[in-house]
């Protein structure tokens, strides 16, 4: 059974830092690109960052570029998101999610998601 | 960045109704369009990928269509468990933007 389990969320003051982790099981982690998606309270989904299977390509949404760093350790089946210089608008549930490819039909979609971890940025 | 615009933002419907949600991309995304359902307090779940392909295990009352910039999610006969929020998402560019969501509520 595929599982993604996030941890590391919590309450942090503006300007502070947090490191989120996502531990994967039930599949060959090193074969998949992984993404972080967040959802502010009562709001929609926002894509945050992605990392390819070998960490060759990394992307961020503009609002977190230069403040957040995505990484992975394939030996530990783990995905990370280092968040620095946190702002109130970063308050959200952060989900890690797996990207699956179906080249026959131009399919690239998120097929498994973790349960999410809540990050609250407040003084 | 590619912008995704859904309509309506919310709708009220009854069990058994046919429901249609539309999603428009700000540029041609071919068929790189996915639909997700999110229940309150839960992670999203993929329903349709590549515009019209039903994810395994998803009921056949869900269907998707469209290409380039205009896409549609249809629920042929709304069931009680379908009251949720639905999101479209493009996978054409590396920035995997979502639509703002459509909340389907009970009439």
* Mean pLDDT of the residues in chain B: 97
Which residues of chain A lie closer than 8 angstroms to B28, CB-CB? none
| A47 inside 8 A of chain B by CB | yes
Cα atoms found within 13 Å of the Cα of residue B61, Cβ hemisphere only: 14
Q: How many interchain CB pairs under 8 A, A with B?
A: 69
What average pLDDT does the segment A98-103 reach? 93
Find the chain B residues whose C-beta atoms sit closer than 8 A to any C-beta of A. 1, 30-32, 34, 36, 38, 43-46, 49-50, 53, 55, 85, 87, 89, 91, 94-101
Nearest-by-CA chain B residue for A96 = B43
**Residue A104 or B63, more confident:** B63
Is 90 exceeded by the pLDDT of residue A72?
A: yes
B36–A110 CB contact, under 8 Å = yes
For A58, residues 6+ apart whose C-beta sits below 8 A from its C-beta are A49, A50, A51, A52, A70
Q: What is the pLDDT of residue A25?
A: 98
Number of helices (H), then strands (E), in chain B? 0, 10
Task: Choose among A44, A47, A102: nearest Cβ to B50.
Answer: A102
- Between strands B19-25 and A34-39, the pairing is unpaired
Residue B103 has pLDDT above 90, yes or no: yes
Kindly report, residue by residue over A18-68, the tens digit of the pLDDT: 999 999 999 999 999 999 999 999 999 999 999 999 999 999 999 999 999
Token pair, residue B85, equals 């929020």
For residue A2, the model assigns a pLDDT of: 97
Query: Looking at chain B, which residue has its C-alpha nearest residue A111?
Result: B46
Residues 6+ apart with CB under 8 A from A104: none
d(Cα A12, Cα A87) in Å, to the nearest integer? 9
Which chain B residues are within 8 Å of A107, Cβ to Cβ? 49-50, 53, 91
Cross-chain Cβ contact B44/A114 below 8 Å: no
Task: Give A40-104 as a DSSP string.
Answer: -TTS-EEEEEEE-TTS--EEE-TTTTTTEEEEEEGGGTEEEEEE-S--GGG-EEEEEEEEEEEGG
Pairing of strands B102-106, B10-13: parallel
Under the banding of pLDDT at 50, 70 and 90, the label for residue A104 is: confident
Summary mean pLDDT of chain A: 97
What is the arithmetic mean of pLDDT over A108-118?
A: 97
Token pair 């690109």: residue: A33
Mean pLDDT for the stretch of residues B23-32:
97
- Which pLDDT score is estimated for A6? 98
Which residue of B44, B49, B94 is in closest CB contact with A107? B49
Residue-wise pLDDT for B12-24, tens only, equals 999 999 999 999 9
Instruction: Give how far the C-alpha of residue A111 lies from the chain's centroid of Cα atoms, to the nearest Å.
Output: 14
Contacts of A35 (CB under 8 A, 6+ apart): A47, A48, A49, A50, A51, A96, A97, A98, A99, A110, B96
Residue B32's Cα: distance from chain center in Å? 13
Confidence band, pLDDT 50/70/90 cuts, at residue A9: very high
User: CB within 8 A of B57, min separation 6: which ones?
Assistant: none
Question: If DSSP codes are grouped into helix, strand and coil, which group holds residue B82?
Answer: helix
What are the residues whose beta carbons fall under 8 Å from the beta carbon of A103, sequence distance 6 or more? none
Residue in B43, B50, B87 closest to A114 by CB: B43
């Amino acid at each position: 059974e595929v599982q993604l389990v996030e941890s590391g969320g919590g309450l942090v003051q503006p300007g502070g830092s947090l490191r989120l982790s996502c531990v994967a099981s039930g599949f060959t982690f090193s074969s998949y690109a992984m993404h972080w998606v967040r959802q502010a309270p009562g709001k929609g989904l926002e894509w945050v960052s992605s990392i390819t299977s070998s960490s060759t390509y990394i992307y961020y949404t503009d609002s977190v570029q230069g403040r957040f760093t995505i990484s992975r350790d394939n030996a530990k089946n783990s995905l990370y998101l280092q968040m620095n210089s946190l702002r109130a608008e970063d308050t959200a549930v952060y989900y890690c999610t797996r990207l699956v490819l179906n080249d026959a039909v131009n399919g690239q979609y998120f097929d498994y998601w973790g349960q999410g971890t809540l990050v609250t940025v407040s003084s | 960045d590619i912008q995704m615009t859904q309509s309506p933002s919310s709708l009220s419907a009854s069990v058994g109704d046919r429901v249609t949600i539309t999603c428009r991309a700000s540029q041609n995304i071919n068929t790189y369009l996915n639909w997700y359902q999110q229940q309150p307090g839960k992670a999203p779940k993929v329903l349709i990928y590549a515009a019209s392909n039903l994810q395994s295990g998803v009921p056949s009352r869900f269907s998707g269509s469209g290409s380039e910039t205009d896409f549609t999610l249809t629920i042929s006969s709304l069931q009680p468990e379908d009251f949720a929020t639905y999101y479209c998402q493009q996978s054409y560019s590396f920035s995997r933007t979502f639509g703002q969501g459509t909340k389907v509520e009970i009439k």
